Amino acid sequence: MKDLVLKIAQSLVDNPNDVDVNLIEDGNFTKIEIKVNPDDMGKIIGKHGKIAKALRTVIKACATKDNKRVHLDIIK
C-alpha cells in the first residue's frame, strides 16, 4: 500500500523527490502519513479537499480488501 500511495502522491506534486510516506501499523489499523513540500500542499489536497478525499477513498478500498482500517494524514 505504501508504494501505491507514494506513486500517486509523486504524480500529483511538482516536487516528487520531497514526498515521503510513512506507515504506522497497529493490529488491523494503519495510519498513513504523507509528507510533501509546503509548496505542494494545495496540489495534494485539491480544491475543497477533493483530491485528498479521492486518495482516501482509494486507500480505504485497498485496505478493505485486507480487512484493515486506515487513516490518512497529510503533513507539511
Residue 41 CB contacts under 8 Å (≥ 6 apart), including other chains = 74, 76
- According to the model, what pLDDT value does residue 1 have? 87
Neighbours of 21 (CB within 10 A): 20
- Burial class for 64, CB neighbours closer than 10 Å (0-12, 13-18, 19+): exposed
Could you report the per-residue pLDDT of 55-68, keeping only the tens digit for each?
999 999 999 988 99
- Whether the per-residue pLDDT at 22 is higher than 90: the answer is yes
Give CA torsion, residues 61, 66, 67, 72, to 10 deg.
-50
Of 39, 40, 7, 42, give the one whose Cα is nearest residue 21. 7
pTM of the model: 0.87
Q: Read off the pLDDT of each residue in 41-54 and give the average, rounded to a whole number.
A: 96
- For the chain, give every domain's residue range: 42-76
